[in-house]
């Protein structure tokens, strides 16, 4: 049987490319340039599979122009770069990379929360700029983490990981809001209490966003929601850009409607809203919550194993639209 042709749309670990090359004729993008939609379509001609990252948009127009395509394997748990409905309608399988990044991403969410609450970025910039001349009683005084109220919006696997860290490690009171309430055993394990979005916004000292992006979560945190938060509160976004209205957030930070924010994701990233770059009370990181080498390797391997499983045996590991798989 002849090998399928696949495209690896971005640079990735050489050992993962080598593994894929054992099964497929592989075309890869080692320059790591993010292709335009037209370039991606040109590269996908005659390809049955594609290894994508969050940077490649797979939509109806691309699918119509790439009739050979059967599977898109995302090296990310989030898949808002996929138009899943269009993929299902075209009979194209979509897979993501869940679970392998949960603990690493929860670690980062907690690190960003701590850096934000304790004003680490501001303090470091001050020191590097040679402005540290004396100790003062309130210099970079931030807010406490231990014993405070941790709010989590979006209580999937990563949200639960953050809740466990907060409750068990720092004695935080954990409240959460989610589309659906967790079962009692999971709530008990995370020591988390389900509350309305309104209560979450009004009670959290530190609010962490971990919900998936969709049309319904677009600007879930905008000016009205920021106004409901405590003036001493911090907001952490490790979910997706677009969940927060970045312009409204920059204004809220400038006006001290809330105390501080920690952002790993941005609307229209890698561009960052210029107003956010101009406010001091925000910690900014370039979408690195899952970035440890072991985790990124596990994510890449899972995406590769999805391509291998589906194209060689019809059995993907983590399908998003299993309804397109042939019925047994």
With respect to ligand DGY, which residue has the nearer C-beta, 5 or 318?
A: 318
Q: Which of 225, 269, 273, 296 is catalytic?
A: 269
Residues 6+ apart with CB under 8 A from 215: none
Backbone angles phi, psi at 62, to 5 degrees: -65, -45
With respect to ligand DGY, which residue has the nearer C-beta, 55 or 228?
A: 55
The answer to whether residue 23 is catalytic is no
CB of 304 to ligand DGY, least distance (A): 15
Find the distance separating the first CA and the last CA of the chain, reported in whole Å.
22
Contact letters (x/-) for ligand DGY, 48-67, by CB under 6 A?
------x-------------
When asked if residue 212 is in the footprint of ligand DGY (CB under 6 A), the reply is no
Sheet holding 71-74, edge to edge: 25-28, 5-8, 49-52, 71-74, 93-95
Residues 6+ apart with CB under 8 A from 29: 7, 8, 9, 10, 11, 35, 43
101, 209, 210, 258: which one binds ligand DGY (CB under 6 A) = 101
Q: CA dihedral defined by 261, 267, 269, 272, rounded to 10 degrees?
A: -50
Neighbour tally for 122: CB within 10 Å: 18
Q: Rg of the Cα trace of the chain? A: 22
The answer to whether residue 287 is catalytic is yes
Tokens coding 183: 């079962």
**The total number of residues written for the chain in this structure:** 328
8, 44, 77, 112: which one binds ligand DGY (CB under 6 A) = 77
Return the SS3 of 258.
coil
Q: Applying CB under 6 A, which part among 40-48, 58-66, 71-79, 190-198 lies near ligand DGY?
A: 71-79
Strands 149-153 and 173-177: parallel
With respect to ligand DGY, which residue has the nearer C-beta, 23 or 218?
A: 218
CA distance 81 to 56: 6
Q: Which of 240, 267, 273, 296 is catalytic?
A: 240
Q: Applying CB under 6 A, which part among 55-63, 72-80, 219-227, 308-316 lies near ligand DGY?
A: 72-80
CB of 97 to ligand DGY, least distance (A): 6
Please tell me the count of residues contacting ligand DGY according to CB under 6 A: 6
The answer to whether residue 219 is catalytic is no
78, 254, 279, 298: which one binds ligand DGY (CB under 6 A) = 78
217, 237, 257, 290: which one binds ligand DGY (CB under 6 A) = 290
CA distance 49 to 92: 9
CB of 220 to ligand DGY, least distance (A): 17
Hey, which residues are catalytic here? 240, 269, 287
Site residues for ligand DGY per CB under 6 A? 54, 76-78, 101, 290
């Amino acid at each position: 049987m002849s090998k399928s042709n696949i495209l690896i749309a971005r640079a990735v670990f050489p050992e993962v490319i080598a593994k894929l090359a054992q099964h497929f004729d592989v075309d890869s993008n080692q320059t790591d340039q993010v292709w335009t939609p037209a370039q991606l379509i040109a590269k996908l001609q005659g390809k049955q599979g594609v290894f994508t990252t969050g940077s490649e948009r797979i939509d109806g127009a691309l699918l119509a122009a790439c009739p050979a395509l059967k599977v898109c394997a995302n090296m990310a748990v989030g898949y808002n770069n996929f138009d899943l409905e269009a993929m299902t309608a075209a009979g194209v399988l979509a897979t993501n990379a869940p679970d392998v990044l949960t603990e690493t991403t929860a670690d980062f969410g907690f690190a960003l929360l701590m850096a934000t609450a304790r004003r680490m970025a501001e303090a470091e910039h001050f020191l590097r700029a040679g402005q540290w001349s004396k100790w003062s009683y309130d210099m970079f005084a931030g807010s406490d983490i231990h014993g405070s109220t941790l709010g989590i919006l979006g209580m999937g696997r990563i949200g639960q990981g953050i809740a466990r860290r907060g409750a068990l490690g720092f004695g935080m009171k954990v409240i959460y809001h989610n589309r659906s309430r967790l079962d009692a055993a999971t709530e008990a394990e995370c020591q988390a209490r389900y509350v309305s979005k309104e209560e979450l916004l009004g009670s959290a000292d530190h609010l962490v966003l971990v919900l998936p992006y969709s049309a319904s979560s677009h600007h879930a945190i905008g000016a009205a929601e920021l106004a409901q938060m405590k003036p001493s509160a911090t907001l952490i976004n490790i979910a997706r850009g677009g969940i927060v209205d970045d312009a409204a957030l920059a204004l809220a930070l400038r006006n001290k409607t809330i105390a501080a924010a920690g952002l790993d994701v941005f609307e229209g990233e890698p561009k960052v809203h210029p107003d956010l770059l101009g406010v001091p009370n925000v910690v900014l990181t370039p979408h690195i919550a899952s970035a440890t080498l072991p985790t990124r390797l596990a994510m890449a391997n899972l995406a590769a194993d999805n391509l291998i499983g589906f194209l060689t045996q019809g059995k993907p590991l983590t399908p998003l639209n299993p309804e397109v798989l042939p019925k047994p």
